[in-house]
Structure 1
Amino acid sequence: MTQVALFGAGRIGQIHASNLAALPGVQLRYISDPLTHSAEALAHALGARAVAVEEALSDPAIAAVVIASPTTTHSDLILRAAGAGKHIFCEKPVDLSVARAEACAAAVEQAGVACMIGFQRRFDPTFSLLQTRLRHGEIGLPEVLNITSRDPAPPPLDYLKQSGGIFRDMLIHDFDVFRWILCEEGRDEAVWLSATGACLTNPAIARAGDIDTAIVSIRTRSGRLCQINASRRAVYGYDQRFEVLGSKGLLLAGNHRPTEVLAMDAAGVRTDGPEAFFLERYREAYRLEMAHFIAQLQADAPNSRGGRFRTSIQDGVAAQRLADAAALSFASGQPVTFAA
């Protein structure tokens, strides 16, 4: 039986808690959240106990922790969990500071524990199948990656003020997809990045120090190209898709819809729009990523570098470097280059 503690009882914490509780051979033993009523309600529903972080980390029976708390708490909890010898699953990002994220990676390695970062898009069945077919050579050598990433509406301004900005918060997933598709296993890396953006949906977002629309272009060492277009407003739903152009063809991973019912009449042809938001779009991805985390722990496979995990803390650090470069490029109006 793998005993787990969960830190964070908010929206994503509830998703992870339910998925953990449904896995065979897993006991969700503790839930911790500064909002004690949230922790207690979730713990009561799932047969766990609401406790302080210190109590959970001091229990030798706890093999792993799942960090689903606000971004600003991630690095501190990673360091504390590593110091307690616990394996770690942490939601993205590792931290809003690259230096702090690198310090977490060093602490994880020194402690000899596993740390998986929650880039759930790698577990989405559609995206994962595209990547598998790409690796099998279906379209030859991949040359161009186009990513579309659009939220249905901006988050609350209070969230934006502490999010780290669109590049470190929203596009961090897209930077990981770029590395997953074009740079897997270190065979290639970014050497040039240019980012631009604007505030087009709500002037209050600009006053909060952020933007809501962005374009990022990346070139890799081997000359492969990636473009990411992102917006915090897509009135038609949560728009998540990408395409890869290769030397022998193209693979495209499209949006998911709530149903596949199609209506045709004199007024036209109608289908459902994309899923409402990320909880619906990536419901299965969240389940699969947590099952993967637990399966690797139970197989005694992981190590401090991520072992057989699909996403390691090093992936988190690498995505954070790209996010920082994008923020710098946007602020300066100049591209950023990386060592080849």
Structure 2
Amino acid sequence: MAPLTLAGIERAARDQLSPEIWDFVEGGSGAERTLAANREMFGRHAFRPRALVDVSVCAPAVDLLGATLQLPVGIAPMAYHRLVHPDGETATARAAGKAGALLVAGIFASRTLEDIAAAATGPLWLQLYWLRRREALAALVERAEAAGYAALLLTVDAPRIGRRLRDLRNGFAVPPEIRAVNLDPALMAASHHAGQGSSGIAEHAREQFDPTLTWADLAWLRERSRLPLVLKGVLTAEDARRAADHGVDAVVVSNHGGRQLDGALPALAALPEVVDALPPHIPALLDGGVRSGADIAVALALGARAVLVGRPAFWGLATGGEAGVGQVLDLLRDELEHTMALLGRPSVADLDRTALAPWPV
């Protein structure tokens, strides 16, 4: 029998992947408090279902930065999809397009930006880290715009990489046959080497990420592209207001999947204050801990325009390539529509904070 929940796909993926790659995908930083809290936070909300509502048709479609998503879900930016399946990002792109979902390709993608764009039939964004070599960033932005990417997403919570203890214990480095093919190999060399008690990912970030990034630097990126700019890693009202003041087009409420500052707010806990601080024309997305369609409904009710899912997409990719990612997205769609129907909220516009109450204790 096919898995009935994402948890079933997760178990199958764990059996499929080597322990060190599983730890790289699944691990968080520090004691992994924030990693666990991202999931647990959804359980603090109860639904307030309404009766005698026509729910014969439930419509989960949303508009986001000029595109219509048939499913209010995006695949979060993740590096090296070929770590878990030889087709890598092109398989993920095909599945996202068929589901009417967004794909955010990572700066460290293991397929070319052009190949990913050719495989995509839905909205496609490019994620960036701020590298010391600005000419490398500028070249990526130019290629993305030429290939038809619809937005740039800048990750802003990684001036340095969190202490990911699983990777340090494993001495994890990216296997030599898996490369970030959109960047100069010399720029990526450190990611392929690690010794005992070190991580190639951390060494590479120390070498290449620019920790001097400030709000003032956003103007440099704006000058080089007409594409909408999204900031990922916003957890406070203060930063939401700063983002709006700097003309950002959307924000992603995210703690990097619990992989950066351990002890940071769970993403769902931060969502309401960020939404309330943004003007209505700037949407917020939620990234972190979504594992069911019911979780998506909670995030939408708290003000998210859409959610990003990361690890579940890798589980699907590992277990079935394109079809596996499609299975993940289909499960999320079915569960979301089911939740909307039983909640008496047949459209995304009907999902607001009146749909929720604190879970009784």
What is the TM-score of this pair, normalised by structure 2? Answer: 0.29
Comparing both chains, which one has the higher relative contact order based on Cα–Cα distances under 8 Å and sequence gaps of 6 or more? 2
Q: Counting strand residues as a fraction of each chain, which structure ranks higher?
A: 1
What is the TM-score of this pair, normalised by structure 1? Answer: 0.30
